[in-house]
Amino acid sequence: MNDGDLTAPGRPELSTGPGGSPERDSPQIGRSYPQAGDFAGDVGEERGDATAGRVSRETSLSPVPASASKFSDRNPVSRETSNHLVDVLLSTPPVPHPSDTGSSSPVTSPQEPSATTGSNVSRGTGFRTAAQIAEQDTTAYDNSTPLARAAEHVVMARQGALGRQQPARPDHTRVMVVANQKGGVGKTTSTVNLAAAMAQLGQRVLVIDLDPQGNASTALNIDHHRGVPSTYDLLVDGAALADITAPCPELPNLVVCPATIDLAGAEIELVSVVARENRLHKAIQAHPLVGDSTIGDERFDYVFIDCPPSLGLLTLNALVAGAEMMIPIQAEYYALEGLGQLLETVAMVKAHLNPRLDVTTILITMYDARTRLAAGVAEEVREHFGSTVLKTMVPRSVRVSEAPSYGQTVMTYDPGSPGALSYLEAAREIAVKGAPAA
Residue 338's pLDDT is what? 79
Q: Which residues contact 42 (CB under 8 A, 6 or more apart)?
A: 60, 62, 63
Residue 172 bridge partners (DSSP): 292
Angle between helices 187-200 and 418-433 (to 10 degrees): 70
- Residues near 68 by Cβ (< 8 Å), separated by ≥ 6? 82, 85, 86, 89
Listed residue (289, 224, 236, 295) closest to 260, CA to CA: 224
Q: Residue 274: what pLDDT? A: 87
- Output the tens digit of pLDDT for each of the chain's 438 residues: 555 555 555 555 554 545 555 555 555 555 555 555 544 444 444 444 444 445 454 444 445 455 444 444 445 555 555 555 545 545 555 555 544 444 444 444 444 444 444 445 555 556 666 666 566 655 555 556 766 666 665 666 566 556 667 888 999 999 999 999 888 899 999 999 999 999 999 999 999 999 999 999 999 999 988 889 999 999 999 899 999 999 999 898 999 999 999 998 888 898 888 889 999 999 999 999 999 888 888 999 999 999 998 888 999 999 999 999 999 999 888 878 878 888 998 999 999 999 999 999 999 999 998 999 999 999 999 998 999 999 999 999 999 999 999 989 999 999 889 999 999 999 999 999 887 765
C-alpha dihedral over 413, 414, 418, 424, to 10 degrees?
A: 60
CA atoms within 13 A on the CB side of 391: 6
Which residues have a Cβ under 8 Å from the Cβ of 296 and sit 6 or more positions away?
Answer: none
How many angstroms separate the CA atoms of 423 and 364, rounded?
Answer: 11
Say how far apart CA 270 and CA 266 lie, in whole Å.
6
Measure the CA angle with vertex 322, ends 321 and 327; round to 5°. Answer: 130
Considering only CA atoms, give the Rg of the chain: 38
Contacts of 101 (CB under 8 A, 6+ apart): none
Cβ partners under 8 Å of residue 287, min gap 6: 206, 240, 241, 242, 300
Which pLDDT value is given to residue 166? Answer: 82
Task: Say what the pLDDT of residue 47 is.
Answer: 47
pLDDT (0 to 100) of residue 106? 47
In CATH, what class is 172-433?
alpha beta
Per domain, the residue ranges of the chain are 31-90, 172-433
Residue 278's alpha-carbon distances to 234, 283, 317, 402, in angstroms, are 12, 9, 6, 36
DSSP letters, 156-184, are HHHHHHHHSPPPPPPSB-EEEEE--SSTT
Whether pTM > 0.85 for this model: the answer is no
What is the SS3 string spanning 396-434?
Answer: CCHHHHHHHHHCCCHHHHCCCCHHHHHHHHHHHHHHHHC
